[in-house]
Amino acid sequence: MKQEMDVKRIVTPIDFSDNSRLIAESAAYFAGKVGAAMHLIFVVQNFEDYSGFFIPQMNIPNLEDELFSGAEERMAKFCEEVKDALAEKGVAEVQHKVLMGDVAEQIVDYVNEVEANLVIMGTHGYKGLEKIMFGSVADKVVRAATCPVMTINPYTCCMTDK
């Protein structure tokens, strides 16, 4: 028996790197084709992840608040910058949110919270020592997500209407 996938909500994590626009537009291309709403998210990594490092005297909660506030401003600006491009691809609804915590865990939690049907996210293409040192957020999300995950290598991506 063939079961079709009904995609209503797509979560797309971005990191404000140079590739974020490409990833968002690629996800919008797919969302537009299936008539799905898009959820753009950014996760501010909290400092608990660096508890083994020496941190000079500073007020960590204030710094985290400033980072979160700055990320919210950057997300609003990013969404304004890509609004027209997403609309051109047929995306009628775009929501955005900034979260704080472990990046992969926050992505998976948000996917569950909004009952997303698909995650579309970029990979950075780390290899060798970089991959060992930094791990792979995409790999962790693929393993933990309760819905399918489509990963896009931004260096080989070419989703267009042409």
pLDDT of amino acid 127: 57
Show Cβ contacts of residue 108 under 8 Å, excluding neighbours closer than 6 positions.
Answer: 141, 144, 145, 146
Per-residue pLDDT reduced to its tens digit, 90-124: 998 999 999 999 999 999 999 999 999 999 999 87
Provide the CATH number for the domain formed by 9-152 in this structure. Answer: 3.40.50.620
Q: 18-22, 30-34, 70-74, 131-135: which range is least confident on average?
A: 131-135
Question: Rounded to two decimals, what is the model's pTM?
Answer: 0.84
Q: 110-114, 125-129, 146-150: which range is least confident on average?
A: 125-129
Angle, to 10 degrees, between the axis of helix 60-88 and the axis of helix 20-34?
50
